Amino acid sequence: MNRFDQRLLFSPVITAKIYSFIAKIDAIKGQWKTTNTLSPQMISRLKTSVLITSTGASTRIEGSKLSDIQIQDLLSKIKIKTLKTRDEQEVAGYLELLKNMFDSWKKLHFSESLILGFHKELLKYSAKDERHKGHYKIDSNRVEARNVQGELVGIVFDPTAPYLVKKEMQELVDWTQKKLATQQTHPLLVVANFIFEFLAIHPFTDGNGRASRILTNFLLLQSGYEYIPYISHEKIIEDNKAEYYVALNKTQTTWKKKKEDISAWVLFLLECILKQSELALKLIIQESVEDFLSIKQLQVWEFALSHETFKRSEVIEGTKLKARTVEQAIKKLLNMNKIKKFGQGKATRYKVR
C-alpha cells in the first residue's frame, strides 16, 4: 500500500466523523440533482456573484488588499484597463481562470498538463511571474523563520525539492486519476488527499494556494458536486482562514513521516464543503422568495445566501446599495422569516434560516 492510501486509514473515531460529514454532503448532492429548479436568471446572477466573491476571497487569503467592490469594478473594465498593481494582475488572472473553468469543466480532462495550463492562465497578467508561469519551480520555496536581523533561525516547512517535483506530481496525478476512475475511494477523500499533497509539494514558484483552490472547485465539479459555481468555496475558506492554516500546519508536520496524519486537514475541508453544500441547498429551497422582493431587495437576499453570516455594513459594501435600502431589505427578510438576527448593536449579525 502506497503512502497516499496509507494515510487515508484513520482511527475509528476519526473515520466516524469523516463519514458523518460525507453522508450529509452526499445527501445534499442528491437533493440538488433531483430538485434543482433555479431559474436561468438566478443562475446567471449567482455565477457572476460567485466569480467576484471567490476571486476576492482566494487572492485576499494570499495577501491581496482588493475588496469585492474593487473587483467588481475591475471586472467591468478588464478589457480596457491596464493592470498596474500586482493585486490587480492576480485578481484578473484568478477571475478569468475561474470563469473559464466553470464554463468548460465538463470538457476538461484532469491531468498534469491541465494543472500546468491552469497555472499559466492563473498568472497570465502577472508581469513578475512571466518566467515561471506554467512551469514547475526551479528554486527552493521552503518556508523559513528569521529573526529581526534577517538571520535564519529555523525551517517552518520544507516542501519538495525542485528536482523531485516532476516525479512527485506525476505520482500524485496518477494516483488521483486512478482513484477517481475506479471509485475505490470516496471522491471527497481523494480530493482532500490530492490538495494536501499538492500544497505540501508546493510545485510552483508562486500561485500554489490559488491554484489549489481552482483545482478543488474543478475536482469537486468533476466528482458530481454541480452546485459548486453557485456558492463560493473560497469565501468559506477565507472566513475560516485561521483554522485553514492550523489544519494545514498540523498535518504538514507529519508529511512523509513514517506515520502521516492528515485527519485535521480532511475534517477541515469536509466541514467547509458541508457549509457550502448547505448554502447551496438553501438556494433551491428558498428561490420562491424572489417573487416577493424588488430587484434591490433581491440583491440583498442573494448576498445573504452566499454568506454564512453577515453584517449590515458588509451588505452595503458588497452590493453598493444605499444604507436605507439595505436596512429595508433586511427588515423585510426578517419579517418573512427568511433570515434571523443575533447579537446587539455594532455586533449585530444575520444569517439565512
pLDDT digits (tens, 9 = 90+) for 290-329: 667 788 888 898 899 888 899 999 999 988 999 999 999 9
134 marked as binding residue? no
Average pLDDT over residues 152-167: 82
Tell me, yes or no, if 307 is annotated catalytic: no
Give the active site residue among 109, 119, 132, 202: 202
How are beta strands 339-342 and 152-157 bridged, if at all? Answer: unpaired
pLDDT band at 77 (very low <50, low <70, confident <90, very high): low
Q: Give the Å distances, CA to CA, from 70 to 75, 144, 299, 304, 342.
A: 9, 33, 17, 20, 29
pLDDT at 35 over 80: no
Question: Would you list the domain boundaries of the chain?
Answer: 3-285, 290-352
Find all residues with CB under 8 Å of 260, minimum gap 6, and list them.
3, 6, 7, 251, 254
User: What pLDDT, on the 0 to 100 scale, is given for residue 41?
Assistant: 72
Taking the CA atoms of the chain, what radius of gyration do you get in angstroms?
Answer: 21
Q: Which residues of 259-269 are buried (b: 16+ CB within 10 A; e: fewer)?
A: ebbbbbbbbbb
Same-fold call for 3-285 versus 290-352? no
More confidently predicted of 184 and 129: 184
pLDDT of 247-276, one tens digit each? 999 999 999 999 999 999 999 999 999 999
Does 224 count as an annotated binding residue? no
C-alpha cell of residue 336: 418573512
Residues sharing a CB contact under 8 Å with residue 299, sequence separation 6 or more, in sequence order? 319, 321, 329
Task: Name the CATH code of domain 290-352 (choices 1.10.10.10, 3.30.930.10, 1.10.1240.10, 3.20.20.370).
Answer: 1.10.10.10
Stretch 91-112: mean pLDDT:
94
Confidence class for position 117, pLDDT limits 50, 70, 90: very high
Q: According to the annotation, is 294 in a ligand binding site?
A: no
Q: Is 213 annotated as a binding residue?
A: yes
Q: Determine the pLDDT at residue 269.
A: 98
| Grid coordinates given for 35 | 430538485
3-285 is a CATH 1.10.3290.10 domain = yes
Residue 210 counted as an annotated binding residue: yes
